[in-house]
Chain A
Amino acid sequence: QLQESGPGLVTPSETLALTCTVSGAPITNDNFHWVWIRQTPGKGLEWIGSIYYSGSASYSPSFRGRLTILVDTSKRQFFLRLGSLSAADSGVYFCARRAGVTAGWYFDVWGRGALVTVSS
């Protein structure tokens, strides 16, 4: 299971920090990548980026320059930090799991989502 946590309201131009806690399977399982996906009114579902337990991360070009994804295996958590926020970043942020390193980049386990509103 995956569970997102973080602030529901963020001020424009500030940085969003979200945490995803992994349970039921080790975050160090070398079969999986851990992923952030968001759903906004303007663009629908968007793949944001991913991280492997080793710390190797991949980011969508749409977010490069203001995005960092990190992992803390001791806490079974991975993190999203997205800076320079605007109202267009408001939406639901999901953490998810890539189905397996030998599988394609589709996502078989999702968190329930965290609603984020960017407003002053």
Chain B
Amino acid sequence: DIQLTQSPSTLSASVGDRVTISCRASEAISKWVAWYQQKPGKAPSLLIYAASTLESGVPSRFIGSGSGTDFTLTISSLQSDDFATYYCQQYGAFPYSFGLGTKLDI
């Protein structure tokens, strides 16, 4: 099974900051990575798929990149609503798997 390692596990930042979250896969998965945002007590919400394609309705400050084994999620200018936990997910190989998450806090 493919393992996804996210770093850092926790990230402290301020409104207006540019932040980057890393997701490394244990095997190459082309561009088949999605990113989700989860707030406490809520379900994850899809942000990005195919490594860099923004889901409809998601603000353009969320930017995904990468291919192969290394992927990043960048938030170009943090807003107060962005403080949450972020997960990467691979769908390049069965069974599909998720990273353990990066908690973004103030």
A in complex with B: yes
A interface with B by C-beta (< 8 Å): 44-47, 60-62, 94, 96, 99, 103-108, 110-113
Instruction: Report whether B44 and A47 are in contact in the complex, using a CB–CB cutoff of 8 Å.
Output: no
Of B16-24, B65-73, B75-83, B95-103, the stretch lying at the interface with chain A is B95-103
B interface with A by C-beta (< 8 Å): 1, 32, 34, 42-46, 49-50, 55, 87, 89, 91, 95-101
Interface of chain A: mostly helix, strand, loop or mixed? loop
Min CB gap A18→B, angstroms: 15
* Cβ contact of A94, chosen from B43, B55, B96, B100, cutoff 8 A: B43
Interface of chain B: mostly helix, strand, loop or mixed? loop
* Cβ contact of A105, chosen from B46, B87, B96, B101, cutoff 8 A: B96
Instruction: Knowing A45-B87, A47-B95, A60-B95 are in contact, say whether A107-B100 is a contact too (CB < 8 A).
Output: no
Counting chain B CB atoms within 10 Å of each CB, which of A47, A99, A104, A112 scores highest? A104
Instruction: Report whether B43 and A106 are in contact in the complex, using a CB–CB cutoff of 8 Å.
Output: no
Instruction: Report whether B42 and A112 are in contact in the complex, using a CB–CB cutoff of 8 Å.
Output: yes
CA of A67 to CA of B101 in the docked complex: distance in angstroms?
26
CA of A22 to CA of B84 in the docked complex: distance in angstroms?
27
Instruction: Knowing A99-B49, A103-B49 are in contact, say whether A44-B42 is a contact too (CB < 8 A).
Output: no
B87: chain A residues at CB < 8 Å are: 44-45
